[in-house]
Amino acid sequence: MTLREIAELAGVSPSAVSRYLNGGSLSAAKYEAIDKVIKETGYVPNQVAHDLRTGRVRQVGILVPKIHSKSVSQVVEGAHEVLAEAGYMTVLGSLEHAPDSVGRYLDWMQAYHLAGAIVMAANDADVRNGTYKNCDIPLVVTGQHFKDCNCVYHDDFNAAKDLTKLLLKKGRTRIGCVSAPKTDPAVGVNRIEGVKAALWEAGLTPAPPTVISDFHMESGYEAMQQLLADHPDLDGVFCATDSMGQGAMMALKEAGRRIPEDVSVVAFGNDWANQVSSPQLTTAELYQTQCGRDAASILLEILEKGSDPSYTRQIMLGYRIMERGSV
C-alpha cells in the first residue's frame, strides 16, 4: 500500500499523510482519520525509502568502554529507552579490546549515515586531537565533562570529597588511594582531586599515597597490596571504583587488617556486589540510567530541532552516598 492510497482512504492529501508519518503539524480531525486508516490497514512505512530521501538512518551508535559492566548497561538502558520511544534503533560498539579506535568507529557511523552517536568511552586524547569536534554527526559524551562537547557527566569531585569526609569523620587520617589512569579525567583526576580537597580542608597534607589501577577487581587487589607494603599504617582507603574497592578489601583481609575496625574503605558505583560483600562496601551511587536518558534526549533535540553548532548542551548529575559496614 502506498502513501497516496492511505491518503485516499483517509480523505486527506498525501502531504498530510507525510506530515503524520514525520511528526509534523496536523489538525486533530486529519490526524485521527489517518491514524484510523493506518491501524486498520496495518500500513508500515518504507523506512529504506525514508532514509534515502532524508540521507539519515534512524539509528544511533553507542560506544562503550566494555560490555560487562553495571554502569555501562545502565547508561545503555537509559539511552535505549528514550531512543526507542522516538523510533530510533541503537548500534552498540565496544572499545574494550581496541581502546584507541573511537575515531574509526565514528568514521564508520558517518559513512553509514547513522543519525548520531553517544560516547561513553571518551578520553582527553580524543578531545585534544579533534576526534569529536571534527565529527559530522551529532554526538553526546557521557561520564566526562569536556568544555566544547555536548555531555552528561557526574559530580565526581564532590562525591569523592564527601566520601573522604566520611572517612575523616570516622577518625581516619592516614588515607591512601587506589585510583585510575589520568587518561580518564572523571575517574583518574576529578575523584582524586576531591579526596585532596577534603584532606586540605581538614588540615592534612593533600597528597595521599596513590597507586594506579585499571578497572578490575584483580588490579584493585594488587594495588592495595602495594599500598600496604609501602604504607603499612594506613587506616583509610579511597577506591575510585567499586571493583577496585572489592579487590582492595580482599587484600586487606589477607593481610590481617579488619574492616572497619582497623581500616575503613570507600568506593564509587554502588555495584550489587557491595551489598553481599562482608562487610558491605560504602560507596557513592551515580545516576547512570538517568545519564543515558539525558544523553539520548540531548541527541534527539539536536536531531529533531536542529541546533547552533557553537552551542553545547551540558548536564551535571548528582550522587548519593551509600554508607555501609566498611566504614
Over the stretch 77-113, which tens digit does the pLDDT of each residue have? 999 999 999 999 999 999 888 777 888 899 999 989 9
CATH number at residue 73: 3.40.50.2300
Query: 268 in a domain, yes or no?
Result: yes
> Is 64 domain-assigned?
yes
Q: What is the mean pLDDT of residues 241-258?
A: 96
Fill in the amino acid letter for 307.
Answer: S
If you average pLDDT over residues 140-144, what whole number do you get? Answer: 95
Residues 75 and 217 in one domain: no
Q: Would the pLDDT of 52 be above 80?
A: no
Query: Is the confidence at residue 50, as pLDDT, over 80?
Result: no
- Spatial separation of the C-alpha atoms in residues 95 and 114, rounded to whole Å: 18
Say whether pLDDT at 56 is over 70: no
Taking CA atoms, 195 is separated from 96, 141, 160, 167, 317, in Å, by 28, 25, 6, 10, 19
- pLDDT tens-digit map of 231-245: 999 999 999 999 999
8 A C-beta contact, residue 265 and residue 237 = yes
Q: Is the pLDDT of residue 55 over 60?
A: no
Query: Are residues 270 and 307 located together in one domain of the fold?
Result: no
pLDDT of residue 42: 82
Sheet holding 282-286, edge to edge: 210-212, 175-179, 236-239, 264-268, 282-286, 319-322
Give pTM, 2 decimals.
Answer: 0.81
**220 and 269 co-located in one domain:** yes
Q: Is the pLDDT of residue 129 over 70?
A: yes
Question: Can you state the percent helix, strand and coil of the chain, rounding each to 5?
Answer: 45, 20, 35
170 inside domain: yes
Check whether residue 228 and residue 293 sit in a common domain.
Answer: no
Question: If you average pLDDT over every residue of the chain, what do you get?
Answer: 90
Query: Contact at 8 Å (CB) between 193 and 155?
Result: no
Q: Per-residue confidence at 311, pLDDT binned at 50, 70, 90?
A: confident
C-alpha cell at 173: 587520617
Tell me what pLDDT residue 291 has: 97
Whether 54 shows a pLDDT value over 70: the answer reads: no
Domain-located, residue 326: no
Q: What is the pLDDT of residue 300?
A: 94
* 84 and 25, same domain (yes or no): no
Residue 322 lies in a domain: no
297 in any annotated domain = yes
Q: What pLDDT is stored for residue 48 in this prediction?
A: 46
22 or 133: which leads in pLDDT:
133
Give me the torsion for CA of 230, 236, 239, 245, rounded to 10°. Answer: 100
Q: Are residues 276 and 168 in the same domain?
A: yes
One domain, residues 272 and 297: no
Query: Residues 245, 292: one domain?
Result: no
Answer yes or no: is pLDDT of 308 > 70: no
88-92, 303-307, 308-312, range with greatest mean pLDDT: 88-92
Same domain membership, residue 219 and residue 281: yes
Structural domain count, the chain: 3
Give dist(CA 139, CA 118) in Å, integer: 6
Q: Are 247 and 217 in contact (CB under 8 A)?
A: yes
Adjacent-strand bridge partners of 118: 62, 140
More confident residue, 50 or 146: 146
Nearest to 251 by CA among 224, 230, 278: 224
50 falls within a domain? no
Domain match, 231 and 165 both:
yes
**Which is it for strands 319-322 and 282-286: parallel, antiparallel or unpaired?**
antiparallel
- Does residue 230 sit in the same domain as residue 200? yes
Distance of CA 77 to the CA centre of its chain: 10
Strand partners, 93: 63
| Cα dihedral across residues 191, 196, 202, 204: positive or negative | positive
- Helix, strand, or coil here: 270? coil
Domain residues for the domain of 279 are 156-286
Q: Under 8 Å CB-to-CB from 69, ≥6 apart: which residues?
A: 215
Instruction: Render pLDDT for 195-226 as a digit per residue (tens, 0 to 9).
Output: 999 999 999 988 999 999 988 899 999 999 99
Under DSSP, the state recorded for 186 is I
Rounded CA-CA distance 300/106 in Å is 18
Asked whether residue 123 carries a pLDDT value surpassing 80, the answer given is: no
Amino acid at 217: M
In a domain, residue 52? The reply is no
Same domain, 16 and 72: no
Cβ atoms of 237 and 263 within 8 Å: the answer is: yes
